Structure 1
Amino acid sequence: MLNLREQDRKIEETRIRLSSLVAAQGFDMKNPEVIALSTELDRLIVDFEKAKKAR
């Protein structure tokens, strides 16, 4: 399992990737790739918050 700093870095990297992808897809929030990456970002954030509470 990643430590909090690594999780935070992964969240930020994914957020930047998502932002770029959304722009590249013409801001189509229903695009399957956008939805998949957004879902991944959501999962990373939930895991991060759970890890913070467990400390």
Structure 2
Amino acid sequence: MSYIEKPIGILDRKDQVLRNRTIPLVKILWQHHTSEEATWEREDEVRNNYPELFD
């Protein structure tokens, strides 16, 4: 049995600071998963793939 992973919401935001740039990240809660299984994803990729999360 398989299902499509869909994000439910954004739990948190943070900036990952590298030597010469900063990457904005968001913590995504996925459908059929608990908050302990939420993952950090790049904000720009999430914004492109799931714009409804930012409305």
Q: Give the TM-score normalised by structure 1.
A: 0.26
Instruction: Tell me which protein shows more helix as a share of its residues.
Output: 1
Q: Give the TM-score normalised by structure 2.
A: 0.26
Instruction: Tell me which protein shows more strand as a share of its residues.
Output: 2
- Higher RCO, 1 vs 2 (CA within 8 Å, ≥6 residues apart): 1
